[in-house]
Amino acid sequence: MKLLRFGEPGAEKPGLLDKGGKIRDLSSVVPDIAGPALSPAGLDKLRKVDPASLPEVPASTRLGPCVGQVGNFIAIGLNYVDHAEETGLAIPTEPVVFSKATSCLSGPNDAIVLPEGSVKTDWEVEIAFVMGQAAYRVEEKDALGYVAGFCLCHDVSERAFQIERGGQWIKGKSAPTFGPLGPWLVTPDEVADVQNLRLWCDVNGKRMQDGTTAKMIFSIAYLVSYLSRFMRLLPGDVVTTGTPAGVGLGMKPNVFLKAGDVVELGIEQLGEQRQEVKAFG
């Protein structure tokens, strides 16, 4: 299934994408794509629904973040060798873990708004996974069974806030609109091999990133197990898993986003996003 949320910001409704590419309204079935709806039983309930029996939603309707009521938005840094190398940092021997504020979540085609004082806002195409069950101290071999689905995430990053202001990376990762998620949450049965998906990012029509999840240092199964050693992951938690080479910080000279730029990104089988960059205010 391809699950989604549609409508005005803060008032999104649950939906799904049918086989014909039409958005269908799930409001009569579940209150949101969140919590219990993401559990194995919740997903089985949704699979039994005939999409043709659901109201069709106009194609022009705004899409919101594909998951609601997110408790934790966790991110993994430097998870591709080529990206670690382009930033000049050591290849990690354990996952680099940080957080993004959940208030940065936005729809896949919403504008990116540069925060006040931003001079180094950067792009990062990433694959994210969403938890469907609580997970604490799970084994890697069992880990993917706790995952409700996968989605495209744009880990927008303000590098000056992240690197030059001291403290934790979260400061450069959490401005409003810095977490476009979706267009949809794709359940694992529709993804043949999550560790062999192509992902890419274009800025103003120029290909900047072109990678594959096959080159992740730490696989998604490993990350579920690893994170569960330190915290209890809960249904609806989102974990975005790092980006391949090609970010603006890695270019010489550096290239960063400015008002008027257009960012387009995608992951095969998981969909595409498009964002216009706007100035603060």
Sequence-distant (6+) residues with CB within 8 A of 162 are 169, 171, 172, 173
Q: What is the pTM for the complete model shown?
A: 0.97
80, 126 Cβ separation under 8 angstroms: no
Q: Once rounded to an integer, what is the mean pLDDT over residues 11-29?
A: 97
Is residue 227 predicted with pLDDT exceeding 90?
yes
Confidence of residue 89 (pLDDT cuts 50, 70, 90): confident
Tens of pLDDT, residue by residue over 164-208, are 998 999 999 999 999 999 999 999 999 999 999 999 999 999 999
> How many residues in total does the chain contain?
281
- The number of beta carbons lying within 10 Å of the beta carbon of residue 260 is 10
Q: Once rounded to an integer, what is the mean pLDDT over residues 28-44?
A: 97
Just give the CATH number of 68-278.
3.90.850.10
Q: Kindly write down the DSSP assignment for every residue of the chain, as one continuous string.
A: -EEEEESSTT--EEEEE-TTS-EEE-TTT-S-SSGGGGSHHHHHHHHTS-GGGSPEE-TTSPB--SS-S-S-EEEEES-BHHHHHHHTPPPPSS-EEEE--GGGEE-TTSPEEPPTT-S-EE--EEEEEEESS-BSS--GGGGGGGEEEEEEEE--EEHIIIIIS-S-GGGGT-STT-EEB-S-EEPGGG-S-TTS-EEEEEETTEEEEEEEGGGBSS-HHHHHHHHTTTS-B-TT-EEE----S--GGGSSS-----TT-EEEEEETTTEEEEEEEE---
The whole-number pLDDT of residue 129 equals 98
Nearest-angstrom CA–CA distance, 267 and 211:
10
Tens of pLDDT, residue by residue over 241-265, are 999 999 999 999 999 999 999 999 9
Q: Which residue in 105, 140, 144, 113 sits closest to 261, CA to CA?
A: 113
Domain ranges of the chain: 68-278
Amino acid code (one letter) for 46: L
The whole-number pLDDT of residue 61 equals 98
